[in-house]
Amino acid sequence: MNPVYDKLKQCYTSFRDKIDFKPKIALILGSGLGGYADSIQIEAVLNYSEIEGFPVSTVKGHKGRFVFGYIGGIPVVVMQGRVHYYEGYPISEVVLPVRLMKLMGAEVLFLTNAAGGVNYNFRSGDFMMITDHISDFVPSPLIGENMEELGLRFPDMSHVYDSELQEVIRKTAQSLNIPLQEGVYIQLTGPNFETPHEVKMCRIMGADAVGMSTACEAVAANHMGMKICGISCISNLCAGMVEQPLTHEEVQETADRAAPLFQKLITETIVNLAKSI
C-alpha cells in the first residue's frame, strides 16, 4: 500500500460522491487571477475543505475551491487557489490536486502564476509563455515508490510544455494583439524572495522568470501523460534589477492590474485549444 496513492484515491472518492462532472481541461489560477473562475459558465463548486484529506492553502488572496464549468463550451475544472511547498506541505500533497484533476478526466493542464522577471528584457506586467522549467530546487514529487497506475518510474522530460499548445497560445496572443514573452520558469522554494545573487544564479542557469509553484505540478502532470501549457504574469522584476524592495503587495497589485488581459488570453486560448484537442 502506498499512502500517497491511498490518499489520492480517498480524495477522488470524496470528490465523486459530491460531483458528477468530467472536465477536459484543468486550469490552475495563480495570484491575482482567482476572480476569473467566477466569470466562467459555472456548473458546480467544491471547496477544498469538503474533500477528505485535501490540502488547503493558507495564502492570503488564494481562495480554496474547485470550480467546474464551461469555457467556450469546453468542460473545465478550475483551481481557485493552490497550495505551495513553502506552506509546509510535503511535495506529494502540493501536487495532489493536479493528480486528482487527471483522475477526474482532465487531459490538458493549463498552468498560470505570478512570477518575478529575471530576464532584463522583461517588464512588470508582461506575460511569459513557459517553454521549459527548472524544478531542481524543490524535491521531485515523483520521489518514493512509483505509482504505476499513474505513470513510469523514469518519465522523459524532453517536452514537458506541449509544442502544439504553445503554438495555440502564440497565435491567440497575436490575434488579440497581446505581447507575449517566452521563456524558462524556475521554481524555488520561497517564501522569501531571492537575493540579487540568487537571481543572477537563475539567469546564468537559463531562467527567465522565477516563482514558487508550477514546475512541480508540471512534473506530476507530465508523469501522468497530461498535455501541459503555462503562462506567467511577470508581476515584478527581481531583486538586484530594481531599486525598491519587493513586497507581496506589489506582486498582488501588478497581477490584479494585468488580470483582465490575462483572463482574455486564457479564455481565447481555451476556445482555440478546443479545436485541437
* Interaxial angle between packed helices 96-104 and 3-18, expressed in degrees from 0 to 180 and rounded to the nearest 10: 50
Our CA angle for 88, 250, 204, nearest 5°, is 70
**Which residue of the set 31, 124, 222, 232 is catalytic?**
31
Out of 67, 238, 241, 270, the residue judged to bind ligand HPA by CB under 6 A: 238
CB of 272 vs ligand HPA, minimal distance in Å: 27
**Is the CB of 116 or the CB of 151 nearer to ligand HPA?**
116
Out of 236, 269, 270, 273, the residue judged to bind ligand HPA by CB under 6 A: 236
Strand, coil or helix: what is 266?
Answer: helix
Q: Residue 64 interacts with ligand HPA (CB under 6 A)? A: no
Q: Residue 138 interacts with ligand HPA (CB under 6 A)? A: no
How many other CB atoms are found less than 10 A from the CB of residue 88? 11
- CA distances to 74, 91, 118, 210 from 206, in Å: 35, 24, 9, 11
Q: Say which residues have a Cβ less than 8 Å from residue 245's Cβ, sequence separation at least 6.
A: none
114 included as an active-site residue: yes
Q: Residue 211 interacts with ligand HPA (CB under 6 A)? A: yes
* Closest to 83 (Cα-Cα) out of 101, 65, 103: 65
**Which residue of the set 37, 129, 207, 212 is catalytic?**
212
CB of 135 vs ligand HPA, minimal distance in Å: 14
**Is the CB of 25 or the CB of 209 nearer to ligand HPA?**
209
* Closest to 60 (Cα-Cα) out of 88, 39, 79, 81: 81
**Is the CB of 97 or the CB of 211 nearer to ligand HPA?**
211
**Is the CB of 162 or the CB of 217 nearer to ligand HPA?**
217
- The residues annotated with a catalytic role in the active site are 31, 62, 84, 86-87, 114, 212-213, 236, 248
